[in-house]
A and B are shown apart, each in its own frame.
Chain A
Amino acid sequence: MSDDVVDLSATAPPAQLTTEYCIIGSGPAGATAARLLAERGRDVVLLEEGGDFTGRALTQRDGAMYDQLYMDRGGRTTEDMSIAVLQGRALGGGAVINASDVVPIPPAVLEHWSRRFGIPGLSEAELAPHARAALEDLRANPIREDQLNLANRLLREGAQKLGLRGEVMDHNRQGCIGLGTCLIGCPMNAKQSPRLVAIPAALAAGARVFVRARVERVTGAQREDKTVVCRALDAKGYHAGARFELRAKTVIVAASAVGSAHLLLQSGIGNPHVGRNLMLQPQLPITAIFEREVDAFRGIPQAYAVTEHETADAERGLWGFRIEAIMGTPGIVSTLLPWIGAEGKARMSRYRHIAASLLLVPDEPSGEIRRGPGGRPIVRYTQRDNHRARLREAIKVATRIYLAAGAREVVVPCHPPLLLRSEADLSSADALDFAPATVPLLSAHQQGTVRFSTSRSQGGADPDGQVWGTKRVYVFDSSGYPSSASSHTMAPIITTARALTARLS
């Protein structure tokens, strides 16, 4: 814990807190805005609901880390429990627990936003300096060949045997020693997340940063002075304690596409578009079983992506699918396998032989955020037929890749499990309908719930991120994206947050 970060579970909240800029959420968008505004000499307060975790506080243990680093203690799902909605809840936001992939917004997506939605100010040329700065913020660099673990090499080997296009991704690690637990934080502080870059810079420039500070609502959105109503949380973030208020001229909401929309809804701010147009970019985990020990839990879990079937064009934006290696610690892997009982234990006893991939399928808006009980959001989402069809195709392609790489079988975690051992088995994937709560879909890149628009009849915020109908209440995160920005949203969010902050007068 930095001495400069105020932990409200250990310190009484200030009685009177006023600021020019109150930023809610400390992930890539909020931390970036806080840094840039503070460096401009503005008075900034940054509020984060989660705790502050760096170094050895990140214990590499599933139970404690999912509990502390993820929203709803790792248990957030869509309302029908079909899709696990993975979101960071810590200083630095989702960048503390993501796979560290740096994938900028494809130019064709920006062209799509311009043509289809008419959004000004986000063209490739206009964003270029911000995109470059985002890569510098992240210390982005290519994953080296010697950093590819066997699981990633097997995915590449299979793809290359089939002549499929793929790439080793860029990442934001420095000094990585391959601990492999990126999804529950890096105790080596190798991830150059906002926690380690933008937030220290913001603090150095005079920003005030509070953790364990839950914002319950914002009032006075149409007035010059807004009131941000907050509660201090306990040390684990489980229970709310003292209530306090903050007054600000400008409020920037950067609490994720779920959290930002939910806060606006709780506050009664914005038009009927707020909360709509949710994209979850649902991903399906599959596992390949090899005779040899793969030990995928060591090294960088997600380094290679098969991009052959991913498309981006001005008409549709990001589409198709990509296949990316992934791996987790035993606890989380066990939740993604479809067996229980003695068979489940037998399968987990082969943990060292597992390679896994995520089938990442960009979606179109198909969900919404609603106010839920206990101050938690309801995430509603309906999977579309075209998404199911691409998932089925992705299963077939991934299976061919893994079989070409020597896998004994590929497991689709439905019930009963679908085991694919040869080309002849692939047609059985056609019967998968992905009915709710039948496969463990997950979402790590939520977008779109306060869509940027040129008219208040088409979205929740104007092209500068100002929520329609408010005076200086903004959304700066992926809530504003009208379509999927990228297969990985960290770099895009920093890019657009930089652009939006630069425009802020």
Chain B
Amino acid sequence: MWGSRESKDSRDSAECTLAGLLVDARSTGGEPFAFLSRRRWLRLALGAGGVALSGAGGLWLLRGRAPAVEGLRVLSAHQYRTLDAIARTVLPAGGVFETGAAELDLARAFDGYLADEPAFVVGDLSSALSLVEFGPLLFDGKPRTFSRCTPEERLAHWQAWRSSALLLRRQVTIAFQKFLCLVFYDDPRVWPSIGYPGPSLEALQR
């Protein structure tokens, strides 16, 4: 719960390794960016991240090559890989039922969604994807990108972001998680696993 966040975060010394250079929600009453638009904050964070990466010797190389993906409308192959990693983290295969995000190619669905969004939304979400990809380095000091972490590391990373003291990190998780969950559970292939019989009018007519 949020009341215990302070003590939890104080143990997490890597919480704001880089972002702490900018603004920390804890030191500004929980609403640190009221003077900034979300977009500008994203740009600032990424700008600072880029400086750090360059200063550390071109660590953009960390992300390595991403496999080519046919048919993408907006996302680059690297962005697709990051988004696919997020989707597999939020909705992994296995567990109580087998179907997972990868089977439904939710990253491609997101690409299709972005194709009809205005440029500023695409820009925001592209920035957010970069922040996620380099998050392990920027925030935790780990020499890995998100999509190259193990599934366990990704899950821990994402959950830390979801309950982070830093508003930006929470916002980033919301931006992707809502879309991914909605599309996943709207898919008829998932419905039998959750006991949903499908749209009721169709069910009545069967």
Contact = CB atoms under 8 A, between A and B. Distances in A.
A142 interface: no
B39 A340 contact: no
Q: Would you call the interface of chain A mostly helix, strand, loop, or mixed?
A: loop
B200 A340 contact: no
Nearest to A375: B118
Contact of A330 (B30, B90, B113, B186): B186
A239 B182 CA distance: 23
A47 B31 CA distance: 38
A336 to B, nearest CB: 9
A373 interface: yes
Nearest to A417: B1
A236 B113 CA distance: 12
Nearest to A383: B31
Contacts of A61: 186, 199
A348 interface: yes
A291 to B, nearest CB: 14
A187 B205 CA distance: 13
A438 interface: yes
A345 B199 contact: no
B130 interface: no
A351 B195 CA distance: 7
Contact of B194 (A187, A341, A349): A349
Q: Which bucket holds chain B's interface residue count?
A: 35 or more
A60 B2 contact: no
Interface in B117-168: 117-121, 155, 158-159, 162-163, 167
Contact of B1 (A75, A179, A340, A432): A432
A60 B184 contact: no
Given A188-B201, A345-B97, A438 B92 contact: no
A79 B30 CA distance: 14
A345 B96 contact: yes
Contacts of A188: 201
A180 interface: yes
A103 interface: no
Given A373-B120, A433-B3, A436-B30, A345 B89 contact: no
A346 B95 contact: yes
| Residue from B177, B182, B196, B199 having most chain A Cβ neighbours under 10 A | B182
B62 interface: no
A81 B174 contact: yes
Given A330-B185, A335-B181, A414 B37 contact: no
Nearest to A295: B195
Contact of B118 (A346, A373, A437): A373
A: interface residue count bin? 35 or more
B182 A437 contact: no
B116 A349 contact: no
A80 B186 contact: no
Interface string A174-201: 0001111100000110000000000000
B200 A181 contact: yes
B170 A333 contact: no
Contacts of B175: 81
Contact of B200 (A60, A238, A350, A432): A60
Contact of B39 (A81, A177, A373): A373
A41 interface: no
B30 A435 contact: yes
A411 to B, nearest CB: 12
Interface string B68-99: 00000000000000000000011110111100
Contacts of B190: 330
A329 B183 CA distance: 11
B21 interface: no
A345 B91 contact: yes
A39 B84 CA distance: 55
A273 interface: no
Contact of A349 (B37, B97, B174, B177): B97
Interface in B35-79: 37-39
A204 interface: no
The 6 A-B residue pairs with the shortest CB-CB distance, nearest first, are A431-B3, A342-B95, A60-B199, A374-B118, A330-B185, A331-B186
18 contacts: A59-B199, A60-B202, A80-B31, A178-B200, A181-B200, A329-B196, A330-B185, A334-B185, A335-B181, A335-B182, A340-B162, A341-B159, A342-B96, A345-B193, A374-B119, A434-B2, A437-B170, A437-B174
Interface of A: 56, 59-63, 66, 73-75, 79-81, 177-181, 187-188, 236, 238-239, 293, 297-298, 329-335, 340-342, 344-346, 348-352, 373-374, 376, 378, 382, 414-416, 418, 428, 430-438
